[in-house]
Amino acid sequence: MDSLALHSLSALLLLLITSASAAASDPTNQFCDARIGYGDSGCGVSAAASSSKILIKGGTVVNAHHQEIADVFVEHGIIVDVKPNIKIGDDVTVLDATGKFVMPGGIDPHTHLAFDFMGTRTIDDFFSGQAAALAGGTTMHIDFAIPVGGSLIAGFEAYEERAEKSVMDYGFHMAVTKWDDTVSKEMEIMVNEKGINSFKFFMAYKGALMINDVLLLEGLKKCKSLGALAMVHAEHGDAVFEGQKRMIELGITGPEGHALSRPAVLEGEATARAIRLAAFVNTPLYVVHVMSIDAMEEIAKARKSGQKVIGEPIVAGLVLDDSGPWDPDFVTAAKYVMSPPIRAAGHGKALQAALSTGILQLVGTDHCVFNSTQKSLGIDDFRKIPNGVNGIEERMHLVWDTMVESGQISVSDYVRITSTESARIFNIYPRKGAILAGSDADIIILNPNSSFEISTSTHHSRTDTNVFEGRRGKGKVEVTIAGGRIVWINDELKVTPGSGKYVKMPPFSYLFAGIDKVDAMYFSSLKAPVKRAW
Ligand code: URP
Ligand code: ZN
Ligand code: ZN
């Protein structure tokens, strides 16, 4: 072994040892416990998990536009072949998928791991959050890197460090929270050097992450010039601030005050405003966590007019209603506090319908979890309850049960909204989001005849609550393969810190096709300046 290889090996061992000992001294985490096996670090890796060649036999292989009964052969982390009756040698782990669906692993486009927010840090980091994801069939996520002191470079570096213990592949969006020439230059560096192709603008969280319309306009123009996708958290932040004051003046200080202070009309307003500004600039727009009919209808209208607007509902918004924050128990009520708030039941149903008809395109989670102690920061004042709910582990099961089992979408549609569309929008298809020769071996085997049940006592997140507590349904992810490794099988996780890779996402996705032509037509349509006699 040469000295470079020896050096890399010792660095890896050091990382594993450091992570393991940090885990042992951290009372909040579950490393190496009964639920999370720890590959290469002494918790045991099964023969299956350690094989680099895998044959998945006889399943129904589903892509976004096609399904067929076929075998899938994986070697060294890549899908090598997809066809019936593949013949192989003995050194291959064989998984029988007869009667089951073999699909691309989920890609969650919206997560917050190790996120410093509202005076605390999310309890799930890049290890525990990703372990939870894998147990639920998600094999890649795109997290929001947040600038440090307004600096995108400092923010990126901080997140690079936090992601070192990753157990699955991940990418980053970058938030923009202030505007000046440095930020503008840093956006170029993010796109041209760091593999980021999307920037998020928070139209809410006044006094913290919120930007104003001037910044949004500058940001949209810059995104367009870089071929990067502009994303918005759409709520009218000033009006939310006013709504919060109103609730406090009325003496409503509990979690229900959160939802009451930011009604759907404020989400609809901001969604419409962002859409119109994106139309004015002629650049694509991605609206994150669409929670209401109000926002969804703005997106529908814009898409009908030909505008490139992507709408992302999240699983909590699809399946829950607004009753949670009214629970008499503070801890139970506070676990549902997120922004925009989870709306009344009719909204979730309408979002499901919009997803099934293509008005909305893909499902995220906005996984951003705080435990009961952290949520209790707002025991006397709902404005201090850290905002966020779970979903990274539950998304694939709940979308299957809610959308496929109910007959609203096909299995191919399921693949599209949980995986392929994320890969296309963020320009990493078909490396991700497909079961094709040459794609990364991120694969799930889902048994439609098996069932799941969600419980805090069995989930893999570090949080001590679950907004989907007690939910049961049909369709269970029985096997997850990430980067060619079997990481979830027989209800056991086998994960290795550091095994996840950062996925660079190139600019100018399909959403940018034709933008230049529309610009050219617009400019040529402008009448020549009127010549006036003096
Ligand atoms: O409540 C939420 N959504 N927390 C995460 C931050 C955000 O707005 O996405
Ligand atoms: Zn948001
Ligand atoms: Zn979010």
Residue 392 located in a structural domain: yes
Q: Residue 343: which CATH number?
A: 3.20.20.140
pLDDT of 44 above 90: no
Nearest CA to ligand 1 atom 9: 366
pLDDT value for 51: 60
pLDDT value for 35: 57
pLDDT digits (tens, 9 = 90+) for 460-488: 999 999 999 999 999 999 999 999 999 99
How is residue 38 written in tokens?
A: 């720890």
Q: How far is the CA of 59 from the centre of ligand 2 (A)?
A: 38
Residue 53 located in a structural domain: no
Residue percentage of the chain with pLDDT more than 90: 88
Question: What amino acid is encoded at 274 in this protein?
Answer: A
Instruction: State if residue 112 touches ligand 1 by the CB under 6 angstroms criterion.
Output: yes
pLDDT of 161 above 50: yes
pLDDT of 22 above 90: no
Mean pLDDT in residue range 61-75: 98
Neighbours of 401 (CB within 10 A): 20
Q: Let me know the angle formed at the C-alpha of 328 by 238 and 263, rounded to the nearest 5 degrees.
A: 25
Contact indicator for 488, 139 with CB cutoff of 8 Å = no
Integer-rounded Cα Rg, in Å, for the chain is 23
pLDDT of 513 above 50: yes
Number of domains within the chain:
1
Instruction: State if residue 387 touches ligand 1 by the CB under 6 angstroms criterion.
Output: yes
Residue 215 located in a structural domain: yes
Q: How far is the CA of 185 from the centre of ligand 1 (A)?
A: 27
Contact indicator for 57, 98 with CB cutoff of 8 Å = yes
Residues around the ion ligand 2 (C-beta < 5 A): 233
Question: Quick one: pLDDT band at residue 381, thresholds 50, 70, 90?
Answer: very high
Residue 166 located in a structural domain: yes
Q: How far is the CA of 338 from the centre of ligand 1 (A)?
A: 6
Least Cα distance to 361 among 305, 397, 409 occurs for: 409
Instruction: State if residue 368 touches ligand 1 by the CB under 6 angstroms criterion.
Output: yes
pLDDT digits (tens, 9 = 90+) for 266-287: 999 999 999 999 999 999 999 9
Substitution site in 121, 240, 339 for ligand 1 pocket (most atoms within 8 Å of beta carbon):
339
Range of the domain at 490: 103-512
pTM of the model: 0.92
pLDDT digits (tens, 9 = 90+) for 434-460: 999 999 999 999 999 999 999 999 999
pLDDT digits (tens, 9 = 90+) for 116-132: 999 999 999 999 999 99
Work out which ligand 1 atom sits closest to the CA atom of 288: 9
pLDDT digits (tens, 9 = 90+) for 77-127: 999 999 999 998 889 999 999 999 999 999 999 999 999 999 999 999 999
Residue 275 located in a structural domain: yes
Residue 26 located in a structural domain: no
pLDDT digits (tens, 9 = 90+) for 325-339: 999 999 999 999 999
Residue 337 located in a structural domain: yes
pLDDT value for 89: 87
> Distance from first CA to last CA of the chain, Å, rounded?
85
Residue 282 located in a structural domain: yes
Least Cα distance to 415 among 81, 96, 65 occurs for: 65
Q: How far apart are CA 95 and CA 104, in angstroms?
A: 16
SS3 281: helix
Substitution site in 112, 312, 389 for ligand 1 pocket (most atoms within 8 Å of beta carbon):
112
Residues 6+ apart with CB under 8 A from 131: 36, 167, 460, 493, 495
